[in-house]
Amino acid sequence: MAEQEQRIIRWGILGLGGISNSFTGELVNAPGAKVCAAAARSKEKAEAFAAKFGIPRAYGSYEELAQDPEIDIVYVGTVHPTHKDSVLACLRGGKAVLCEKPFTMNADEAREIADEAKARGLFVMEAMWTRFLPAIVKVREWLAEGRIGEVKLLKAEFGFDAGWNPEGRLLNKELGGGTLLDAGIYPVSFASMVFGAQPVWIVSSAHIGETGVDEQYSVIFDYEGGGRAALHGAVRLQMVNDAWLYGTKGKIHVPDFLAAKTATLHVHNEEPVTFRDDRTFRGQNFQALEAMECLRTGAAESPVMPIGETVAIMGTLDAIRAQWNLTY
């Protein structure tokens, strides 16, 4: 076990936009991580990225990275519609994969990846970084301990104002734009974590903007046993971005749940208890630590963000968009 704990995990970075810059910069907070290669659609961009982060190899195509024998795991940070092909190429090259959210454009694509990873015995995980933050880990502990009893209601939202850029990623349907696949997936995934299941009933509404994508949405989920989630998201509306969990014995408040640094437990007739995470960095390293631990122990998936749940969440997103007649 000591040798496994000390094993260096060699990373490749595929797709070199803003999210990949952020993730790669935070790998310094993931002991045992070594970034060995980066790939973009142009060699020049890859070389500039490699120089910025001190990465030894730069590739001008994704396929070259997928075939690099000295890479253990690839972080895929490309635009949404290219996730499936990028992940499949890496799996077929024998690489484990950590893929940015949304994992794919729809459940069929996610299922195809899950089947490929299973057939090859390779680790694959959606990069739902929020789940691995210490404050969210504490929330799961409180829930597992039954501190607030049975959760009956979750209220969560994530929205920001990206401004008007019809050709940009967030509003361009050809690039997988829209709220639900970007900001909106966070509350939906959080609800999946809290209730441990997908909803049995969904009602939703959305504002479809002039570019044909959802600029804002609201949804209500009902679950077996009587639980309910009320979720909201937007890409042209600044929101508070908090989460509230209401149970039969108390409640939990998670300010700015997406990047949570605190969580407060309110149990009936007891003094509130606040968990605080004093980190000074964003926290994307925690998902990398989870992926590396899985590789070291030979796990094919993370127990915190299992691939089956990712496929199920994509199915829920499909069902929501079907109510809006919006498909990808």
pLDDT higher than threshold 60 for residue 3:
no
User: CA-CA distance, 106 to 131, in Å (whole number)?
Assistant: 21
- Residue ranges and CATH numbers for the domains of the chain are 2-128 (3.40.50.720), 134-276 (3.30.360.10)
Predicted confidence band of residue 328 (pLDDT cuts 50, 70, 90): confident
- Counting every residue written for the chain, the total comes to 328
Residue 246 corresponds to which tokens in the numbers above?
């209401």
Q: Please report how many Cα atoms fall inside a 13 Å half-sphere around the Cα of residue 156, on the Cβ side.
A: 27
What are 217-236's pLDDT values in tens digits? 999 999 999 999 999 999 99
User: What are the φ/ψ torsions at residue 9 (nearest 5 degrees)?
Assistant: -105, 125
Q: How far is CA 115 from CA 34, 91, 98, 137, 321, in A?
A: 28, 11, 16, 28, 24
Section 21-32 average pLDDT: 96
Section 158-186 average pLDDT: 96
Contact 257, 189 (CB under 8 A): no
Section 270-280 average pLDDT: 96
Residue 257: per-residue pLDDT: 98
Residue 244 corresponds to which tokens in the numbers above?
């509230």
What are 197-213's pLDDT values in tens digits? 999 999 999 999 999 99
Residue 27 corresponds to which tokens in the numbers above?
């790998």
pLDDT higher than threshold 90 for residue 1:
no
What pTM was computed for the model?
0.96
Average pLDDT, the chain: 96
Section 77-100 average pLDDT: 98
Residue 6: per-residue pLDDT: 75
